[in-house]
Amino acid sequence: MKFERIPHSAPMPTAERDAALANPGFGTLFSDHMVTIDYDEAKGGWYSAKIGPREPLMLDPAASVLHYAQEIFEGLKAYKQVDGSIAFFRPEANARRLNASADRLAMPHLPEELFIQSVKELVRTDKDWFPTVEGGALYLRPFMIATEPFLGVRPAKQYKFLVIASPAGNYFKSGAKAVSIWISDYTRAAPGGTGEAKCGGNYAASLVPTGQAFAMGHDQVLFLDAAEHKWVEELGGMNLFFVFDDGRVITPPLGGTILPGITRNSLITLLREQGLEVSEEKYSIDQWREDARSGRLIETMACGTAAVVTPVGKVSGPAGEFEIGSGGPGQLTMKIREKLVGIQKGAVEDTHGWVMKLD
């Protein structure tokens, strides 16, 4: 699809931008431009692809997204490679997952090639927005919202797909302590719900329990299954892996209530290449506590696009707390994180075809 380019009349001044890129934080600084593509069922689908200034959206007060929450999104990063080029990590997987989320929320598919074209167009336009801080990347947020103005419970017939970019620092600080997590009494997702879709409602539901975890001094919240409230599922925004002293690694299975993380999928492959036995199986909170206290469990790692791979050191809940290993980053966690980041940044050979260069 051909993109119409709309000139930016007032981009951020270079000196101001460069100062901000030296310490961008995460999710609060945004680049100058954005991509928009419209969809109308009556017009035959997607049309009017544009790249122009990042600016407020004009939405009718009756827009369906505001009343019936038809909204989905993705998260991926563009990286500066060691050779100076720019690349993405498995963007086609993000495109597929966006469409899987669209299926669950009765929204239209966006062609995968158009998804990839969109993120490439934005990064090509805002290539000067890469942060200069070590470990920095350009975080990309593609998302789709229902824009048709109507009040009635049915799928909308008009949508808008957008991509914005946020320069991001290193979410995981080198040498930082392992994270502490709180076991929530709240449920994130139930069988038959939207747990495996990347939609805003799932994250809205996690805000209260996440706030409780923060208030008690923890870094993340852990959700258990809805039916029995005993099986470990995932954190507020990350999947989990458990490493045992006999070389086994397990991760909770996908079953409709857990987001199928792209980093999770990548780690399964990389861990198996290390000669480890990796299985997807249920793991109870009681077993986790027992294995940690006995020493059978030696590491727990959390993973996601933002945090990459993060060690979990302490788990707390109404029944008390327990520590994993020494309470600090484990050797395998740091080793596998280094390999994954190395692939993403071109320092380690990509034998899986995961890295897509910006042409």
Closest by CA position to 72, among listed 28, 115, 103: 103
HSE value, Cβ hemisphere, 13 Å, CA-based, for 180: 12
Kindly give the pairing relationship between strand 239-244 and strand 297-304.
antiparallel
Task: Give the residues across from 33 on adjacent strands.
Answer: 53
- Mean pLDDT (whole number) for 325-353: 94
C-beta contacts of 124-127 below 8 A and 24+ residues apart = 124/358, 125/32, 125/33, 125/51, 126/31, 126/32, 126/33, 126/165, 127/86, 127/358
- Round the average pLDDT of the chain to a whole number and report it: 94
Residue 177: predicted pLDDT: 74
- pLDDT for 84-130, tens place per residue? 999 999 999 999 999 999 999 999 999 999 999 999 999 999 999 99
Domains in the chain, CATH or no CATH each: 4-168 (3.30.470.10), 179-344 (3.20.10.10)
Is residue 170 over pLDDT 80? no
The pLDDT confidence band at residue 169, using thresholds 50, 70 and 90, is confident
Structure tokens at 9: 């009349």
- pLDDT for 128-163, tens place per residue? 999 988 888 999 999 999 999 999 999 999 999 999
Is residue 289 over pLDDT 80? yes
- pLDDT for 210-256, tens place per residue? 999 999 999 999 999 999 999 999 999 899 999 999 999 999 999 99
